[in-house]
Structure 1
Amino acid sequence: MIEKKTNVLIVTPDIHGPIRNGGIGTAFMALSQFLSKSGYNVTILYALGNHTESQPIEYWIRSYKEFNITLIPLDDEIFPYRLDAPSYRALAWKVDRWMRIHSENYSIAIFPEWMGLAYYALLAKGQGLAYRNLQFIVNIHSPESWAREGGRTLPNHLDDIDRDFMERESVARADITVSPSQYLFNWMEQNNWDISNKKVVIPNLMPVDFNRPHQKNSIHTEPINQLVFFGRLEVRKGLKVFLDGFNLIKPEFQSSISQIVFLGKPINNETFSSIEFIKNRTKNWKPIIQIITDKNRDEALEFLSDSGKLCIISSLVENSPYTVLECLEKQINFCASNVGGIPELIHEEDHAHTLFAPTPASLAHIIENKLQETFSPAKVAQTQVCIAQKWEQLIGSVITQNVDSNFIASTLDDQPNPLVSICLTHFERPLLLSRALESIRKQTYPNIEVVLVDDGSTSVAAIELLDKLSFEFSSLGWQLLRQKNQYLGAARNNAAAHARGEFLIFMDDDNVAMPHEIETFVNTIQSSKADILTCAVAPFVGNTIPDTPTDVWLPLGGSAGAGLFSNAFGDANACWRTCVFHSLGGFTEDYGVGHEDWELFADAVLSGYRLELVPEVLFWYRVNANGMLRAGDPWADHARSVRPYLRHNPGGLGSATAYAVYLRQKSRLSDHLIGKSPSFSRKLKIIARHTVNPLMWIKLGASYKQLGLKRTLNRIKLFVSERA
């Protein structure tokens, strides 16, 4: 028997209690209860902070404490800076920051793949930055792309592209991946997910109810007189199949049904309203129609346990749904569609009288059979005792193995300190160049050279500084190159052509490197085996660098999808393997057009090279109105950044992606915003929060200068709407 009292951390945006109904929340509550009962110290980091759908968060902290489980809401107040990032990136970053502080307290961290919460933390582990002694288990439940496929819906926001990438990367980078069904692993393989790490199939555990821990199961004895649609009230959960199926039931059987209940959370958005859809479709039905949307999991099961009810689970796609497992465990009379992982939950002997094809005719047929037969509860395929043993074996094997066995050392290359070439470009900013060079002189990494390219400066001050630098550069073996003004792409290529280092780090004269930037880049690129590294950025305004960052810009990394619409890859101040940079041909050299770094990053990712983000702030980025939009033409900039997609052009998708970018840019510059308007109070809160940010005023000034007042106001409206 292994020694217990091992500390286990569960990180989730969904946990039963704060969230009323959710498969992930129920699964992680059950897992936490089991681990606590088995002797482990269990902490749940609830990623949505104080958000709850019922009682205040303090109530749920006390409730979990009764099971010896510590529930910690993630507190935004612990982050001393403004984070400029889309929602999924921001939440995963905050989780990583919290874990950096507390990770030494835990041996195992368990995440869902959902929302990609583990993404930045797993990047940090793979790059050797943190979590050396922490094993990551990703327990997959419902990837967003899987749910959209099942619901026959399209992504409706750019954040959905981030989310898909982060979920895939979380699964690929986990130490162990657990699925409650073999079906979902099969689906991932068919959809090109990387699940080459250790993968284990373990069905979900059943939780102990907070308020009714010893509730007895009920055996149905009365004839069926009620049908209950059980599940979220949406098409993906089979709502339309159920409605169409009832219309196909023979009249003599319909007459025995006195009431039809729709039990689940409703959907209400710009494209679908559950309540209106149900009311319109059932207005001529004879049975009494009841729509119940406010019951939590425990209350819903108590409602279903009454005799006379037949529970219908008609989903079009499912992984391993608790709706089915709960009906099996509580011996509720039910039938379910034979999709996804549902058949894996039910004993084979009971498939014939419990499962139906997800079509109206098949549903009508099984309901008619259920109305005529004597109720005999279906049996589970695997008992809870068996499932608990599998979890015990998995957690035990993780604890007893050598936790360092899969850790990649950070000094695998032949040279412990390979030469790094800093490719520094300059044009008419001698004061800023002096500060950039001073930050390079303070680097903790010992083996560097600087290749400085002046891109045609003619001012007296700039020429005097360059002349003064000549002696220092010569004595250090650094290089100072002067060329006619050709713009950034040509200047950077010139520097790279003369560089001698194994790695290149590009830097502009208005950047200021933090002392550990080069050392961190070198260590992480060797640990991760990446080809290109970008990082988080600390922007600032003016000539004085803050003592600590007040703002952080957070890129995503190597997502070709997200990088189509915005530079999600990272800033040009990045680290490259020299051979990779030259194999791509370097930057294109269009004069007077921006996005040259964005274009090259996209080309690298589409060419199959690994671009990763270092989840650390490594340099200061000076923001000024002249620099923000110096290219002058946003349409030309975007036409440049989309060129790699046109060049690679798989099956003609290049032009399609270019058209998608056109539509996106057109909508952003449109005089009208499409979609439901956020509340006025919500808008005011967002405006108030960003009004005190000096970076925002810089951006507004640049936008006004570039686009004029009307379009700038429209951009403000779009900015507020997206964040609301």
Structure 2
Amino acid sequence: MSGCHADGRLAGRHCCGDGSREFIGSKIGLDISSSRSLRIPRSRDFRSILSEQCPIPSVRSPYPGSVSSRAALGRSKPMPRILFAYPEVSPLYINGGIGTYVYEAAHLLAGCSGWEVDVLTDFSFVPAGMQPDFAKARALFGRAGIRLLDLHGGGGDPMTWGMPDLMRAERYYRNLVTLHGERPYDLIEFPDWRGPGFMAVRHKRTAGAFADTRLVVHLHSSSKDVADWQAENFLTREQLYCHDMEAYVNAHADLVLSPTEFLLHPVRDKERMSSRPLIRTGYPISAEGPSRAAGEVLPRRKEALTVACVSRLELRKGQDILAQAIRRAVETAALDQPVEFVFCGNDGRGLPGDGSMAGSVRRILDGVPNWTIQKAKPRQTLLEWLAADVDVCVVPSRGDNYPNVVLEAARAGCVLVCSDAGGIPEMLHDYDLRAAVVSVGDVAALAGSLAQAVRSVRCEPGIRRRLAVEFDAVRRRQCRRTQEAYRAMAATPLRDAALPVLTAADEPRVSVIVPVGRDTDRVWPTVQSVFASAYSNYEVILVLEWDRGTESASWLTEMRRIFPSLRVAQKDVQEVRDARNCGLALATGELIVVLDTDHRLSRGMMQRCAQVLAARPGLAYVTTYLDGTPEPTERRKARRAPADGQPFGASELLLLENTVGGGVAMIRRRDLDKVGGYANDLSTLQEWDLWLKFQEERLEGDVIPEVHGAFVPGAPREDPSTGGRRALGSHHALLRHHEDLVRRQALTISALLLEEYVRARGARSDAVLHRAVGVLGRAISLVAGHPLWAVRYAVQRLVRWTRARSWGKKKGLTSPAST
């Protein structure tokens, strides 16, 4: 790792002795069926190579020497196509690290690598005051031959999910279907941040979509990473759902691209498919900036040296650590020259008690002269400021991945002082950057490195120009590596995503079990929907849950006449046994479908589920969406909103809510037997209990994002308040069945239950929020010694409130509106 010499000169990073650099991935023609380290020899400057092939540039690009991809290839062979599906894109989103990467990578590939490039961004992601800039941004990208597209410009209305991230993922999927149909892409790249590729990856995995392209997830930083770096609680339902979306995309995308091994390592640890390529390559950066020759530093505008920290002011970026180091350096007289310190960025969360990071910096530097806080600058203005005014750039991050400001400051010839957080050391290695590197949070070392960096600038007048020239040479090599990484990904063989065609001889036998209560009128449409199936190899088993005397009822006789193959079983009323297990004892199929009488199957449900299970042998079960309103006049509207919950499958939230949903499931018989079938001692929530059993045994399921059934609820049988109390009691009984899972996630469950409490009472009331915080505080205090008590305490408070609300309504003491 780089550091500082005793005399104040900055130590540099060097390449390997054989003139090569480590790169995790592969070049074209090399096997990249698994992740490993390769040596890629240094090559000539890509600009000189391209100039030999196509000397006449025709499209403006920030990459010098770049040319139009059409001119470069002369249409002698098809140009590869890529779509960057990123909600955040620079310059729409000012100084965002992910957006800056998209801008640089898109211009690099479009300008000098022979690619056709589209960028699909979410215009609603941009703050309202910046929206008029979209036309300018589209024109800016268009001058480089790049199409900038708005997510809300096509693709139809998405399903009405209750989460913005899910809505965005659904919109991305629908837009991609249209765009990929118009001009097929070789690569479609998503960021991991907030999972915009979730629906596209799920459709490919379970429905065979995008079989002719490669879906790439680019690791930037997950929402959980950022929350950890910010020391924030990660307990809300929206946060946990977002985390599940990110984890799903990381696990099932065709290719994983990362700028650092720091982010790639957790994915590799969880990797189950050894053949999936995991590729590492750092961010590229162009020569774009103030008009000047490569390596030329603009004339200084003032005499005093400037030390700048450029990033959003927030806990993970560590401006408070830098402020402490500045105070220490000033108080110890380590800085023997006039220095101005600048914190540049929009304000965010600071230390506890300060409210914001700007407040933390002001408190720490109270009485210290020559420092200012400036708002974030537009990128072009920032680049000019770095080149003209900034001498030393400090990156004191607590947690970070690949901060672009390091590259922007190095390109301007600034001396760098960085922490060793996250992927920053790898970034310095990629670009051979001369930098002083200190441990995260080491105030004394940071103060000493600041003083040494200032002395280096004073003692070596030409240091900035030399650093800029050295960086420009390495920058071009890194651009070459990025090009090679994308060519390697485009050359990767397509994963077999197509679902198999099952003939009648290949169809596995499916046993459909229908428990029947006393509401026999609802049995007919359920059974009829099964026998109308396009699938041929199945059996239907009715399990009667009442006295044997009714077995000879006229409706059953008529049903047996119409459907001769129907099998009927009678549950013994003396047995404490679930009706589903009675059906399982008679079933002969290797695949099981359990239907309640309020479910209806589509003709293709069994065929589609059997195809997915045949193509994905690692899945224990699959479920589908349900149409919640089967009447023809309402069907189109209902299909926009599946009837049950969020489409995730088993996740950390499964203890709190049935994330698998109430959709019809097809389950492998062997996996049902492995977990002991359905619970016999639960009166309700047997399906939910089964998903929890699968999670305990690490058996995976998935959701087919297609409507393959209908849900026709009967008339309500009890007062909603009574039903709410009964549901809470059933949920508590379910949690007692899975105490090990509850023990591991007690705090999360308690927090989410209290969130439900706040929502039910109305979060607008300060008194309600105060009471909820008190309940949560008590629950948290119970977690360490008695985690189950924490959940029980939160549940009991909810039950008491529900009872009080119900009693108040009956007595006429509280109106529904007031509650």
TM over 0.5: yes
Q: Which of 454, 479, 485 matches 1:394?
A: 485
Shift of 1:7: 2.4
What 5-or-longer segments of structure 2 have no aligned partner? Answer: 1-72, 767-800
Counterparts of 1:458 and 1:65 in 2: how far apart (Å)?
75
Q: 2:446 aligns to what?
A: 363
Counterparts of 1:369 and 1:486 in 2: how far apart (Å)?
85
Q: Which of 75, 82, 97 matches 2:152?
A: 75
Q: 1:501 aligns to what?
A: 589
- Residue 173 (str. 1) matches residue 247 (str. 2): no
Shift of 1:519: 1.2
- Residue 13 (str. 1) matches residue 87 (str. 2): yes
- Residue 479 (str. 1) matches residue 560 (str. 2): no
- Residue 637 (str. 1) matches residue 730 (str. 2): yes
Counterparts of 1:292 and 1:270 in 2: how far apart (Å)?
19
- Residue 467 (str. 1) matches residue 557 (str. 2): yes
Q: Which of 208, 215, 229 matches 2:309?
A: 229
Counterparts of 1:716 and 1:489 in 2: how far apart (Å)?
43
Letter in 2 for 1:501: G
Counterpart secondary structure, 1:480: strand
Residues 621-647 of structure 1 deviation map (CA, whole Å, 9 limit, x = unaligned): 23456279768512222223334541x
Count of residues in Structure 1 that have an aligned counterpart in Structure 2: 682
1:716 to 1:291, Cα distance in 2 relative to 1, 3 A: farther
Shift of 1:433: 2.3
Q: 1:325 aligns to what?
A: 407
Residue pair 1:533, 1:576 contacting (<8 A) in 2 also: yes
1:308 to 1:170, Cα distance in 2 relative to 1, 3 A: closer
Shift of 1:320: 1.6
Residues 150-182 of structure 1 deviation map (CA, whole Å, 9 limit, x = unaligned): 333330412222222222221221222111122
Counterparts of 1:55 and 1:666 in 2: how far apart (Å)?
37
Q: 1:342 aligns to what?
A: 424
Q: 2:6 aligns to what?
A: none
Residues 504-525 of structure 1 deviation map (CA, whole Å, 9 limit, x = unaligned): 1121111122222111111111
Counterparts of 1:488 and 1:89 in 2: how far apart (Å)?
41
Q: Which moved more, 1:164-173 or 1:576-585?
A: 164-173
Counterparts of 2:764 and 2:455 in 1: how far apart (Å)?
49
Q: 2:322 aligns to what?
A: 242
Shift of 1:602: 1.3
Counterpart secondary structure, 1:115: coil
Residues 53-109 of structure 1 deviation map (CA, whole Å, 9 limit, x = unaligned): 624333323332222111222228744465234333332233223323333322211
Q: 2:190 aligns to what?
A: 111
Letter in 1 for 2:730: D
1:342 to 1:717, Cα distance in 2 relative to 1, 3 A: farther
Residue pair 1:227, 1:310 contacting (<8 A) in 2 also: yes
- Residue 64 (str. 1) matches residue 141 (str. 2): yes
Shift of 1:533: 0.8
Counterpart secondary structure, 1:147: helix
1:71 to 1:231, Cα distance in 2 relative to 1, 3 A: same
Q: 1:533 aligns to what?
A: 622
What 5-or-longer segments of structure 1 have no aligned partner? Answer: 678-702, 719-724
Q: Which of 209, 221, 243 matches 1:164?
A: 243
Shift of 1:218: 2.1
Counterpart secondary structure, 2:680: coil
Superposed counterparts of 1:545-560, under 5 Å: 546-547=635-636, 549-553=639-643, 555-560=646-651
Letter in 2 for 1:199: L
Q: Which of 299, 307, 313 matches 2:395?
A: 313
Superposed counterparts of 1:557-596, under 5 Å: 557-571=648-662, 573-590=664-681, 592=683, 594-596=684-686
1:665 to 1:373, Cα distance in 2 relative to 1, 3 A: closer
Shift of 1:600: 1.0
Q: 1:202 aligns to what?
A: 281
Residues 206-256 of structure 1 deviation map (CA, whole Å, 9 limit, x = unaligned): 157599799975267666533322112111111221111112104435584
Residue pair 1:228, 1:261 contacting (<8 A) in 2 also: yes
Superposed counterparts of 1:88-103, under 5 Å: 88-103=165-180
Shift of 1:488: 12
Residue pair 2:236, 2:751 contacting (<8 A) in 1 also: no
Counterparts of 1:717 and 1:622 in 2: how far apart (Å)?
32
Counterparts of 1:211 and 1:540 in 2: how far apart (Å)?
60
Letter in 2 for 1:492: R
Residue pair 2:317, 2:399 contacting (<8 A) in 1 also: yes
Residue pair 1:162, 1:556 contacting (<8 A) in 2 also: no
Q: 1:524 aligns to what?
A: 612
Counterparts of 1:93 and 1:487 in 2: how far apart (Å)?
46
Shift of 1:675: 8.9
1:669 to 1:19, Cα distance in 2 relative to 1, 3 A: same
Counterpart secondary structure, 1:521: helix
Superposed counterparts of 1:357-506, under 5 Å: 357-358=439-440, 359-374=442-457, 376-377=463-464, 378=467, 379-380=470-471, 383-403=474-494, 406-407=496-497, 410=500, 416-456=506-546, 463-473=553-563, 475=564, 477-483=565-571, 490-506=578-594
1:207 to 1:613, Cα distance in 2 relative to 1, 3 A: farther
Counterpart secondary structure, 1:422: strand
Q: Which of 369, 374, 377 matches 1:291?
A: 374
Counterparts of 1:660 and 1:533 in 2: how far apart (Å)?
26
1:207 to 1:158, Cα distance in 2 relative to 1, 3 A: farther
1:220 to 1:454, Cα distance in 2 relative to 1, 3 A: farther
Letter in 2 for 1:231: S
Residues 240-274 of structure 1 deviation map (CA, whole Å, 9 limit, x = unaligned): 21111112104435584564322113225997423
1:5 to 1:637, Cα distance in 2 relative to 1, 3 A: same
Residue pair 1:428, 1:458 contacting (<8 A) in 2 also: no
Q: Which of 506, 512, 515 matches 2:600?
A: 512
1:596 to 1:269, Cα distance in 2 relative to 1, 3 A: farther
Calculate the TM-score normalised by the size of structure 2: 0.74
Q: 2:119 aligns to what?
A: 44
Counterpart secondary structure, 2:595: strand
Counterparts of 1:329 and 1:78 in 2: how far apart (Å)?
40
Identity, % of aligned positions: 17
Counterpart secondary structure, 1:438: helix
Shift of 1:131: 1.2
Counterpart secondary structure, 1:626: coil
Counterparts of 1:540 and 1:4 in 2: how far apart (Å)?
47
Q: 1:685 aligns to what?
A: none
Residue pair 1:318, 1:340 contacting (<8 A) in 2 also: yes
Residue pair 2:95, 2:378 contacting (<8 A) in 1 also: yes
